[in-house]
Structure 1
Amino acid sequence: MDEIKALIEKHREKIVQTRRDLHQIPETAYTEFKTAEYVAKRLDHLGLAVTTGIAKTGVLGLLAGPEPGKTLMLRSELDALPVKEETGLPFASTHEGAMHACGHDGHMAMVLGAAAVLSDVSDRLSGHIKFVFQPAEEGPGGAKPMIDAGVLENPVVDYTLGCHLWPGVDQGQVGVKAGPLMAAMDRFDLTIKGKGGHGAMPHLCVDALDIATQIVNALQRIVSRHMNPLSPTVVTVGQFNSGTTFNIIPEKAFLSGTTRTFDSKIWKSWAERMDRVVNGICQAMGADYELNYQPGYPVTANNPWMAGEIREVAGSIVGSENVIEPEPTMGGEDMSFFLDRSKGCFFFLGVGRDGCAPLHNPRFDFDEDVLLTGVEIYCRTAIKLLGQR
């Protein structure tokens, strides 16, 4: 393991530079062409078998050991967010209106760093390692399309591992949790269709804005009065557009939002529950509606055995006292699709410190030393699972 530390130190400068290179070329969902090209070139330079264009922009690098064995997948995301960067970093985004505000630049740097180190010791590994870079994690989701394209096959993936830089965990700590870690998440778009008219003559109209406000309140009552309070559930209306001026009753109103839960039964019931409430209010008020409910990501749940393996590996690196069980989050992750199909673990790598901006914030940044910790966890786990006995 001293050799692994030495190899990581050897690649330190390249790992940090990789993060900075990628930070400058952020690309949003399914437009990650420059990013994918950068990643593919790096994997090819390491001598891996590289496949590109998976689910449009996804990339796979395959490392084969000299002996047959199990297959481990290390996963990262390619995409950035439609955020205007305000960090003032010398390597800030050169793409106007796009930013790696969720740490995906760091995630890619860690997986590429692990690929470099593990390539140096590949003669002592059995089986295969797949280095997977998926598009569109921020939405609409690239994990399932990559699975549909066969990324978990030939060879079949036995173990899956990924991590997220996490401001909610202190820098120097690693968050590992067996079972549910992140919530199932969906999106809904709702259009209320009424009858517009003069603001002084409401009796001749069907007020779409008024109906939409009733629906916003009623959706919250699904959570507070129809759900078990011991099963955390959230519905958020994040967008509400209606009306054009002060004296016209709007003919239409548009709502968009998300639902979150850790309960799979609740997750599968949300579409029907929402439609029933919206239909009832619209019928009572004389309006029509169009509801587009879009199932998103399932619960991100870690395999207990794999979580135990990661906890042990992380403890050997940062000290067992710095491996914590993080609080579950209502944030969603399409890593969940990979975890559903293999023994896997998704862990949080702490970047929390004074002044650290939250994820998805235009000022989000992190201490790049944490990348070396992530690379070491990946490499030591690979050796533990695939190292020749």
Structure 2
Amino acid sequence: MKKLISILTCLIISTTICFSQGTNPESKNAKPGVIDQSIKIETDQIFNKLIDIRRDLHENPELAGKEMRTQKIIAQYLVNLGLDVDTNVYGHAVVGILKGGKSGKKIVWRSDMDALPNDFADPVAFKSKTKGVQHGCGHDVHMAIGLGIAEVLSKHKKSLSGTVYFVFQPEEETFIGAKGMINDGLFSKIHPDEIYGLHVSATAVGQITVKPNEMFAYQKRIRIQLKKEVSADAAKALSNKIYSTLARATEGSKPWDLQNVVDTKIGIGSPNTIYKDYLIMDQSFTNYAKNDTRFLEAYIYETNLSNVKNIIPKVRQVIEDSGYKEQLLSISYIQDNPTVINDEKLTNSAIKTLERIYGNDVVKTDYGQVPYFNDDFCYFQQKIPGVYFILGGSNFAKGVIAMNHAPNFQVDEECIRIGVKCFSSLVVERLSKN
């Protein structure tokens, strides 16, 4: 999950906020079939093994583009399951191919592989052995879940209708791995109908959060170039005016404050969430001079796609109204990534499937769009319809807070069991749909 500003590195989540607690996806209203009951048993049987794998990956993290050891572990695991394995797609990617005993749909389950360049406080006993590198975003958990789904489904190979591709993708944190795999011919080798993936997050363990359409705000980094005759102080005053003109949020709310994301009253799980209909941006622009040019740069996060096209014209208007029309050289985006957009039909179908099998309380509706984060999973979604889930990893009663890219990031490993169980059932269900 890509984080674009450093403010989160010092974010501290207060456990005094009223958090929603996670649920065990075995509610009384659940109606699991025979295969789902087998999936539950098989998940329980391999759970401790998956924890060991996750902890080994956590102790031995590798940065984007350097996932050599990780690739070998994943490839060998999939080979041992009897899957066909391709490691010649892009970088250190791994594609495991599970062909069912019957013809049918082709589905991708994607897991990201790379770690973060940081040395944050890590309270677990199985700390990183590599200085300055850490799985502080949960990709080790994602890989364990992906391997778990592969193992569970491999036990049902003969009865499966179709093919499952387990795509282990490198270089997500640098936002280039998914595009690299596509450009290197992933979809000329495989021809999937649907794609699914997840990210562990600070929501409560046992809780799956999802919504159709945009999961995150649209992220832009804008650059304004002025003639050098504009002083640093004048440029700062101009940036303040741009901020006050463009910034938008519900009155009294602070969508830039991520400790509110899991709050039951105003977080993403509430219809009254503050994480919708906003434009937030860096209040303090990067302000510097180089050669004969004054530069102003800032990150912008907008929830409404229809508003994105108006950002640069509005900035231009503020600059001109402020008397700097003759000093303005250019306005452009120097970072303009797409965002994760869930297919509406597949999302609604997935929600119904998970609720039918594991109960109405296993899925929580996402009412907002989280700022700062993004995922290059969006590039896969541009090629095939797909759904990206948020999987809760926090256990607030135990002080375990799964706030990605932050000091003391921890995960309740029970989320691995929940992820394998729920999403194995989802994949089986989707394979059976024509």
TM over 0.5: yes
- Cα 1:287–1:187 change in 2 (3 A) is closer
Q: Partners of 1:239 and 1:99 in 2: how far apart?
A: 29
* Aligned with residue 231 of structure 2, among 207, 225, 230: 207
Q: Secondary structure at the match of 2:135?
A: coil
Alignment of 1:11-26 (within 5 A): 11-26=46-61
Q: Per-residue deviation at 1:293?
A: 1.8
How far is 1:26 from its partner? 2.3
Distance 2:221 2:172 in 1: 14
Conserved in 2, the CA contact under 8 Å of 1:77 and 1:107?
Answer: yes
What whole-Å deviation, never above 9, does each CA across 1:363-383 have from its counterpart, x for those lacking one?
111110110110112211121
Match of 1:293 among 334, 344, 351: 334
Give the Cα–Cα distance (whole angstroms) in 1 for the partners of residues 72 and 240 of structure 2.
44
Please point out which of 209, 230, 235 is paired with 1:175: 209
1:303 aligns with 2:343: yes
Q: Tell me the secondary structure at the aligned position of residue 185 of structure 1.
A: strand
Tell me the residue number matched to 1:200.
Answer: none
1:78-122: CA deviation from partner (whole Å, max 9, x where unpaired): 122222131231211122122211111111110111111111211
Q: Specify the alignment match of 1:222 in structure 2.
A: 246
Paired residues for 1:87-126 under 5 Å? 87-126=122-161
Q: Which amino acid aligns with 1:260?
A: Y
Q: CA 1:317–1:213 in structure 2 vs 1: closer, same or farther (change >3 Å)?
A: farther
| 1:85–1:92 CA contact under 8 A, matched in 2 | no
Q: Distance in 1 between matches of 2:284 and 2:169?
A: 27
Distance 1:171 1:123, change over 3 A: same
Q: Return closer, same or farther for 1:388/1:124 CA change in 2, 3 Å cut-off.
A: farther
Structure 1 residue aligned with 2:184: 149
CA distance in structure 2 between the aligned counterparts of 1:49 and 1:179, rounded to whole angstroms? 33
Cα 1:27/1:253, change in 2 over 3 Å: farther
**Is 2:295 the partner of 1:261?**
no
Q: Name the CA distance, whole Å, in 1 between partners of 2:234 and 2:314.
A: 21
- Alignment-derived partner of residue 375 in structure 1: 420
Runs of 5+ consecutive residues of structure 2 not aligned to the other structure: 1-35, 250-275
Q: How does 1:54-69 map to 2 (within 5 A)?
A: 54-69=89-104
Deviation at 1:388, TM superposition (A): 9.6
Q: Does 1:75 align with 2:75?
A: no
Of residues 36, 42, 49, the one that matches 2:84 is 49
Partner of 2:279: 233
Q: Is the 8 A contact 1:85 1:98 kept in 2?
A: no
Q: After superposing the two structures, state which structure 1 stretch, 142-151 or 74-83, moved more.
A: 142-151
Matched, 1:33 2:68: yes
Q: Distance in 2 between matches of 1:238 and 1:318?
A: 46
Larger RCO: 1 or 2 (CA < 8 Å, sep 6+) = 2
Q: Which residue of structure 2 lines up, in the alignment, with residue 166 of structure 1?
A: 201
Deviation at 1:16, TM superposition (A): 0.8
Say if 1:220 and 1:235, in contact at 8 Å, map to a contact too. Answer: no
C-alpha deviation, 1:72, in angstroms? 0.6
What is the letter of the counterpart of residue 281 of structure 2?
V
Mapped partners of 2:200, 2:41: distance in 1: 23
Q: Does 1:184 align with 2:218?
A: yes
Q: Which amino acid aligns with 1:24?
A: E
Question: Could you tell me how far apart the structure 1 residues matched to 2:157 and 2:140 are?
Answer: 25
TM-score if structure 1 supplies the norm length? 0.82
TM-superposed CA distance for 1:320, in Å, is 0.8
**Distance change >3 Å, CA 191–CA 11, structure 1 → 2:** farther
1:19-58: CA deviation from partner (whole Å, max 9, x where unpaired): 1111122233333333233222222232322222534232
RMSD of the alignment, in Å?
3.2
Secondary structure of the residue aligned to 1:321 is coil
* Cα contact 2:239–2:285 (8 A) shared by 1: no
Q: Which of 333, 349, 365 is matched with 2:391 structurally? A: 349
User: Cα 1:213–1:140, aligned 2, differ >3 Å: closer, same or farther?
Assistant: farther
Does the aligned pair in 2 maintain the 1:43–1:50 contact within 8 Å?
A: yes
Alignment of 1:194 with 2:228, yes or no, is yes
Secondary structure, counterpart of 2:163 in structure 1: strand
* TM norm structure 2: 0.74
In the alignment, the residues of structure 1 paired with residue 309 and residue 279 of structure 2 have an alpha-carbon distance, to the nearest angstrom, of: 13
Helix, strand or coil at the partner of 1:139: coil
Indicate conservation of the 8 Å contact 1:81/1:99, yes or no: yes
Q: What is residue 359 of structure 1 aligned with on the other side?
A: 404
| 1:189 CA displacement | 5.2
Q: Which amino acid is the alignment partner of residue 164 of structure 2?
A: I
User: More deviation in 210-219 or 279-288?
Assistant: 279-288
| Equivalent in the alignment of 1:335 | 377
For the residues of structure 2 that align with 1:29 and 1:279, how far apart are their CA atoms? Answer: 42
Q: Secondary structure at the match of 1:96?
A: coil
Q: Which amino acid aligns with 1:265?
A: S
Aligned position for 1:323: 363
Structure 1: 5+ residue stretches without partners? 196-205, 244-249
* Partner Cα distance (1:182, 1:88) in 2: 29
Shift of the 25–269 alpha-carbon distance from structure 1 to 2, 3 Å rule, reads farther
Task: State the alpha-carbon separation in 2 of the partners of residues 55 and 279 from structure 1.
Answer: 47
User: SS of the residue aligned with 2:119?
Assistant: coil
State how many pairs are aligned: 367
